[in-house]
Structure 1
Amino acid sequence: MKSDSDLTGIQPYPTYHQSKCGLCDDGSYPVPASGDVFLLEAPKINKILLAKSDRENNLNSFVNEFKSFEHGQTILKAHYKERREEKYEVYIDFVQIIFHIRGTQHCKSYKAKLDSYIQQYIPSNTKYLLHLMDDGSKELANYVCDKIAGSFKDDLLPKILDQDQLEEIDPETSGAIVVVGSCVSNGKNLHYISRALRKYEKLRIIYFICLVSIWPQLPIVLQ
């Protein structure tokens, strides 16, 4: 760093002896250095005992809502993914959530929230339900279609497509297209779909996403 008070132009940096280090007193850890290479020693571990007070306030309700009830019907999974080799550290199986919503008494609180959002945000002029490629998104699109079917005539019920069937969209159709996703971790698929739908100027795009990251408390709707 440049120093106007020193003829060499170098501002001295404070250094300390190992036995009495001001930086260490402030919480820093010493790292041995030889030349321009840092020689990392064995990690110094500070043990911390986790207590009940360290958990998130809504963790109890989350676990009670999505815990497993029978073997083979697990919602929360570790190091799992449907198709590709790369696995998620924490995976939420939305197919199982839809299964419980449709046929069991579990996930009742989440079902109530989901149904409320469907009624509130799926417009009556919806022409297409465009779902992401995963099985959970497909099941969610079918569930949304079933929930809104009573508000449409049979010949006007929204058409369900996946993101690889964009060519089946009529460019002259006016109304809304709802992009349905069970879970979004980074938004890459939504970015691709957004760019692909730009040419359909007569369609209003609505994104209906149920899980963002790994905390499924409320569906997310973007318009």
Structure 2
Amino acid sequence: MADLIKSKFLEAYHVLKSELLHDPSFEFTDDSRQWVERVIDYNVPGGNLIRGLSLQAYLLVFDDIEDNSQTQRTWPSLMVEFQTIPGKMIDLISFLEGEKDLSKFSLSLHRLIVQYKTAYYSFYLSAACALLMPGENLDNHVDLKDIIVEMGIYYQVQDDYLDVYGDFQVLGKPGRDIEDFKCSWLVVKALELSNKEQKKILHENYGKSDPTSVAKVKALYKDLDLQV
């Protein structure tokens, strides 16, 4: 009986995992999809599966959705967290997963990271809450969402620029996007505009902490007219 229950659970598990990994509400990159799949496979199907068979967590999430709750026991509910966490995940994977590879960086990847990591919670969330309070349906305000997300992306482009060229005395923090191999707007634009030799300079120096490498990257940005 126990083996039959486990078999049924694993059968359902593979279906649910596939649905999650191909959820159209989030644009997974290949790396992030593989990352999530490894995390799920590591945590869910092992052991006696008692927690996996429990309906308690499902009922809590269902309750959040039913009453449009933004929190669960003082923590952001799962349906809210889903918009921000994947963006952070893609950002981390882009410079932590395996060998540093600038060829994976692009404007589309930068936009994807910013859209989920910054634009939703920093810009759209406050507007969405203001609409929900008087009972508005968010599906009727998709154009507003699109405009606000663009504002969030523009904000992050400015932040990426200031990370390299901003005044430390004004910002109060040192920029480290170059040293930390971040998928910033400056580096993806540099990759887009650079010739073969300039790309070689980026590949050899981006993501290194020594001042000489950082200076070479900044000099290249200037040559490409990225410094205003």
Fold in common (TM above 0.5): no
**Greater strand share, 1 or 2?**
1
What range is the shorter-chain TM-score in? under 0.3
Greater C-alpha Rg: 1
The TM-score normalised by the length of structure 1 is 0.24
**Greater helix share, 1 or 2?**
2
The TM-score normalised by the length of structure 2 is 0.24
